[in-house]
Every structure is written in structure tokens, then in C-alpha cells.
Structure 1
Amino acid sequence: MKTKIFAILLSISFFTFSSCDDDNDPLNNVCNDSYISTPITNLFTTANGYDDLPEMMDLETHEYRMKINANGEICSVGYQNPSTWTGSYLIVINNETTNQQTSATLSFSQAQLEYKSISPLAVNSGDIIKVQRTIFGNTLLSETIGRILRKSDYTAVPYPITEGNVEFLSSDFYGAGGPVPNFGQPYIPLGFKVN
């Protein structure tokens, strides 16, 4: 009887452990669109002294640098076009550590944050990633604005700031003015697939 119970428990344990997702199976990993947006949303909050400004900073390029402390690949980019612009942006994501990059010309929803798939960019834990959004083809300065999170007291963002596996290192705004380093955190989240 004890042998039969042990065999049943062993079978249940084997089934339970073998059916769990350990993020090492490339067949079941998916692009997690919230991998960067969740740390941005959690860190740059009103409670932490930030204002969410959906249409701010009238410079052509909005960029930030971060470190992802996990192995995987960047697989999507999220953004929301402001009410003043329906056109496209050049999105460039550069792995400064490996000198590899991916880029795409994309337009996004004006109504809400929208994610678009991009050619994957490999990331090793600790790699430095630079994310750039550059407008082109615009005719008005007001079209260059974008969503940023800015300190309520108008001081520079005190980088580096870390949550979980993501460390935000710096930001910059330039083109038709600037540069304006660490003025705010651009809201340009990335999707990430953990290996």
C-alpha cells in the first residue's frame, strides 16, 4: 500500500514539476510587452514625485539608456503618438555593449499605448541598451512632443534608478534644440522575451 501511494505521489510530483514554465523553453516563451512598461510605471509615479506628461518636450529625438539584467531578446516597442502627429517615427534600439541594433519606421495609435513587433535584438544580462524615437517629416515644432515622466519639482531625474531586472541609466532630448539630458523619462517601453 505504501509503495502504491509513493508511486502515485511521485507521478503527481513529476507531472507538476515538468509542466511548469521555467522560461528556458524557447517554444513557450513569448514577448512580454510589460517587461519595461511595468518598471517605468512603478518607478516614475506621482507617489515618487513624478508627473505623467502625455504631450511634452518639443524636441525631435527622445532617448534613454538602460541595463537589462537578464538574458533574452527585445522583441517589441510601445509608444503612443501625440494628438498633434499621425506620422511615423524612426525607432532605433541599440545594444551598446555588443554594438548590435534594430530599427524600424513606425506609427502608433493616438488613442492609447500600442506595441509593434520589431526584429529581435539579443541581450545578455548587464548589456547597456539605448532606445531612441526620432520624428521625421514633420513641419511643426508642436508635432515633436511625446509622453514623458518628469520630476514634479522640475529637478533632473536622479539616474540610475532600478526596479527588478531593469536599471534606467540616463535620458536625453535633442534635435531642433537641446540637448537636454535627464529632463524626464521618455515613455517608450519595450517588450522582452527572457531566455
Structure 2
Amino acid sequence: MKTIKTLIFCFAATLISSCDNDNNPTNNVCDTTYVSTLITNAFTAANGYNDLTTMDLETHEYTIQINANGEICSVGYQNPSTYTGGYTMEVINTTANTSYSGVHTFSQTTLDYQSITPVLVNSGDIITVKRTILPGYTALNQTVGRLLRKSNNTPVPYPVTQGNAVFLSSNFYGAGGPAPDFAQPYIALGFKVN
């Protein structure tokens, strides 16, 4: 019985210690909040940004340089209150020419993270992240999404560096546009540091 208790304790301790985000490659798991934390810290009200749900175009995308070795292991998004359908989510490593594409539906009430087939990243790789609404939506207000827009309505002054990432550009298009650097889309990525 003592052996079983010891094993259970060791197993629980292992689980607790492996769920961190300290960039220690020996114990990292997919840190789902990796890019959302960077977005939240870089595009704050104190830095002159408003958190909005707007921009009625089909594709919302941004480009980011990640200065760490690892893998993008999840994507996070929140459907607007006007849409319950799905999106094609794409994560494209334009440096290594590898990518993920899949259809996802997200919560309307909270940022919802979903696992993806990992996209490997070497420090300095350029990643394009896209959210495209599926065909068949019935109103333009269904194409809106969460974004961070300059309070004075000027374009985002890319590049924006936060932590070990550099936000390089954004674009909005489809059924209108393009609207480059209009705002920073709030599309989160999970990252596992190698």
C-alpha cells in the first residue's frame, strides 16, 4: 500500500511540475497562452490600443517572427456573438515552408484553445496565422472578429516586439479589402519550447 501511495504522489508531482511556462525544454508542454500573452502585453490600452470586435472581412491574418526553437501546438480564438459556425485556421511557417490547415469552431464566450498538428519553428522563422470564415455565412456581421486597434484609428506601427516574438504585419481581406495593418487580430497560438 505504501508503494502505491508513493507512486501516486510521484505521478501527481510530475503532472504539476510539467505544466509550466518557464521555457525549460526538459519539462515544457504546450503553453496555450504563449502568443495570447504576447498580444495582450504588446497591444494594451496603455500602449494606445482598443480591444474591439469588428472588421467584417472574411480573412483576418497576421505575420509574426518567433525567436525560439519549438513547435506551434494549438490555436486559440473566440467566435463573435453573431456567429456559431466554423473557420479554416491556418498556421504557415513561410521560412520552412510547412503549415497546418484545419476547420475549427470556437466558443462564443471565451478564448478557446484547440490542439493542432504541430508546426515546427526554428528561432527567427516567419509565421503567418489566418482565420477565414467558412462559406455559407449569411450576414456580414458574422465575419467580424476580435482585434486590437490603435485608439487614434491609425495603422498599427509594425514591427512590434514583445518578449521573444516580433509582430510584423496584419491584413484583412475577402468580400472587400485588403486592409493591411488595420489592427492586430486576436488569434492566439500555443507554443512548446524545445
TM-score interval, normalised by the smaller of the two chains: 0.7 to 0.9
Of 98, 116, 119, the residue aligned with 2:117 is 119
Q: 1-side partners of 2:120 and 2:23: how far apart? A: 19
Q: Which amino acid aligns with 2:83?
A: W
Q: Does the Cα contact within 8 Å between 2:62 and 2:130 map onto a contact in 1? A: yes
Letter in 1 for 2:188: P
Question: In the TM superposition, what are the counterparts of 1:182-193 in structure 2 within 5 Å?
Answer: 182-193=181-192
**1:23 CA drift (Å):** 2.4
Distance 1:71 1:37 in 2: 18
Q: Give the equivalent residue in structure 2 for 1:158.
A: 157
- Find the aligned partners of 1:94 and 1:61 in 2 and give their Cα distance: 14
Who is 2:106 aligned against?
A: 108
Matching residue of 2:50: 51
Shift in alpha-carbon separation, 1:22–1:163, aligned structure 2, 3 A:
closer
Q: Is the 8 A contact 2:78 2:112 kept in 1?
A: yes
Give the 3-state SS of the residue equivalent to 2:46 in structure 1: helix
Q: 1:32 corresponds to which letter in structure 2?
A: D
Distance 1:22 1:168, change over 3 A: closer
**Cα distance between partner residues in 2 of 1:144 and 1:151:** 20
The equivalent of 2:63 in structure 1 is 65
* Paired letter, 2:113: Y
CA drift of 1:151 comes to: 0.2
1:74 to 2:72 alignment:
yes
Kindly state the Cα deviation for residue 22 of structure 1 after the two structures are TM-superposed. 7.0
Between the aligned residues of both structures, percent identity stands at 64
Instruction: Mark the runs of 5 or more structure 2 residues left unpaired by the alignment.
Output: 1-16
Task: Report how far residue 29 of structure 1 moved.
Answer: 2.1
Deviation at 1:121, TM superposition (A): 0.4
The alpha carbon displacement at 1:33 in A equals 1.0
Q: TM-score, normalised by structure 1?
A: 0.86
Structure 1, 133-142 or 147-156: larger mean CA deviation: 133-142
Aligned partner of 2:25: which letter? N
Residue correspondences, number = 174
Deviations 1:77-107 (A, max 9, x none): 0000000100000001000001100111000
Ranges of 4+ aligned residues in structure 1 off by more than 3 Å: 19-22
1:112 counterpart letter in structure 2:
T
Amino acid aligned to 1:170: S
Counterparts of 1:82 and 1:68 in 2: how far apart (Å)?
27
Whether the 8 Å CA contact 2:159–2:167 is kept in 1: the answer is yes
Give the letter for the 2:24 counterpart. D
1:138 aligns with 2:137: yes
Q: CA RMSD of the aligned region, Å?
A: 1.5
Q: Say if 2:60 and 2:171, in contact at 8 Å, map to a contact too.
A: yes
Change in Cα spacing, 1:154 to 1:22, as seen in structure 2 (3 Å) is closer
SS in 2 for 1:45: coil
Q: Could you say which residue in structure 2 is the equivalent of 1:24?
A: 25
Task: State the SS of the aligned residue for 2:149.
Answer: strand
Q: State the shift of 1:149 in Å.
A: 0.2
Deviation of the 1:39 alpha carbon: 1.0
Equivalent residue for 1:37? Answer: 36
Per the alignment, do residues 102 and 154 of structure 1 end up closer, same or farther by CA in structure 2, a change over 3 Å counting?
Answer: same
Structure 1: gaps of 5 or more residues: 1-18
Letter in 1 for 2:122: N
